[in-house]
Structure 1
Amino acid sequence: MAKKPIKTNAVRLIEKEKIQHELFEYTTADGEAVDGVTVAAKIGEPVEHVFKTLIATAGPNRFYVFVVPVAAELNLKAASKVAGEKKIEMLAVKDLLGLTGYVRGGCSPIGMKKLLPTFIDASAEGLEYVIVSAGKIGMQIKLTPTDLAQAVRAKFAQVAM
């Protein structure tokens, strides 16, 4: 009998909302975080469908979530503009777990401790599906861009470069 995957907050939330999804699991050496391009290869999916979750800040209690293609980078200028801030910067890795409940390499836009303003790169809108972290290293979740946006109340915006 196959072992049942451990449910993360992201998976619980998606199931509670009855959103169609598919889970992928992969292994890493000692559970270390690997880059998203490597993750795409490990799960056998096209890299343009795999997205990473980045957290940025504009100062105390001003946090934003950006979901961008794994092969791209966050355009901080564009991100600042869509967030309505003068300037934003990436959140320090040491602050990630406390803010989101997730670790680097396993940060999902779904099921964070608090629902933060979220922006999904506009490139996702034209895709049949996207794959994001399911809330832990070694687990990814596949769903439609629309379902992802609804689950986290996100807006689509051009934020990757």
Structure 2
Amino acid sequence: MTPAINQLIRLGVHHKLHEYIHDPKAASYGTEAAEKLAVNAHRVFKTLVVDTGQNILAVAILPVNQQLNLKLVAKALNVKKVTMADPVMVNRCTGYVLGGISPVGQKRALTTIIDASANAQKSVYVSGGRRGLEIELTAYDLSRVTNGSFAVIT
């Protein structure tokens, strides 16, 4: 069990787990998950961490086939600008390694923005806290467990 799964169980959130064999040579963790699980890429969401400029981190959750728009994330966070966070800081704050960062069960609760496209999906897939493990849940439940808000960020 990962901290993400433990949190979902503790909160009684309905979810499904999907595992696959991770290929260390894969160019994109998210695309690999979509392909190996035979799920449309717009339903598989990646978790990116941004820095608001004062070493204050925030989480952006978006489809793996989209690119994060830093200006839109900054606007959603009500800050002037954001940059991608330092990987060492990301690991320290979330407790997860790159490619296995779950938006759920992080060490420190970070402000979370979920791309609004999640609302159009019956369910979405996010990392389960390690490479090769995805959690399927509704966008509503994802926002509830992360205290996340929705905005267009791609």
1:104-123 paired onto structure 2 within 5 Å: 104-123=98-117
Q: Could you tell me the percent identity over the aligned residues?
A: 37
Structure 1 residues 69 and 144, CA gap change in structure 2 (3 angstroms): same
What residue is the counterpart of 2:47 in the other structure?
53
1:66 maps to a residue whose letter is A
Unaligned runs of 5+ in 2: none
Contact 1:33 1:104 in 2 (8 A): no
1:7-156 paired onto structure 2 within 5 Å: 7-29=1-23, 34-156=28-150
Equivalent-residue separation in structure 2 for 1:109 and 1:33 (angstroms): 21
Contact 2:3 2:105 in 1 (8 A): yes
Unaligned runs of 5+ in 1: 1-6
Please identify, of 33-42 and 79-88, the stretch whose mean Cα deviation from structure 2 is larger: 33-42
* Number of residue pairs the alignment of both structures matches: 154
Equivalent-residue separation in structure 1 for 2:130 and 2:102 (angstroms): 8
Structure 1 residues 48 and 32, CA gap change in structure 2 (3 angstroms): closer
Q: Per-residue deviation at 1:157?
A: 0.3
Q: Report the TM-score when normalising by structure 2.
A: 0.95
Structure 1 residues 31 and 133, CA gap change in structure 2 (3 angstroms): farther
Q: CA RMSD in A?
A: 1.5
- Tell me the secondary structure at the aligned position of residue 121 of structure 2: coil
Equivalent-residue separation in structure 1 for 2:54 and 2:42 (angstroms): 33
Q: Report the TM-score when normalising by structure 1.
A: 0.91
Query: Is 1:157 the counterpart of 2:151 in the alignment?
Result: yes
Equivalent-residue separation in structure 2 for 1:100 and 1:11 (angstroms): 14
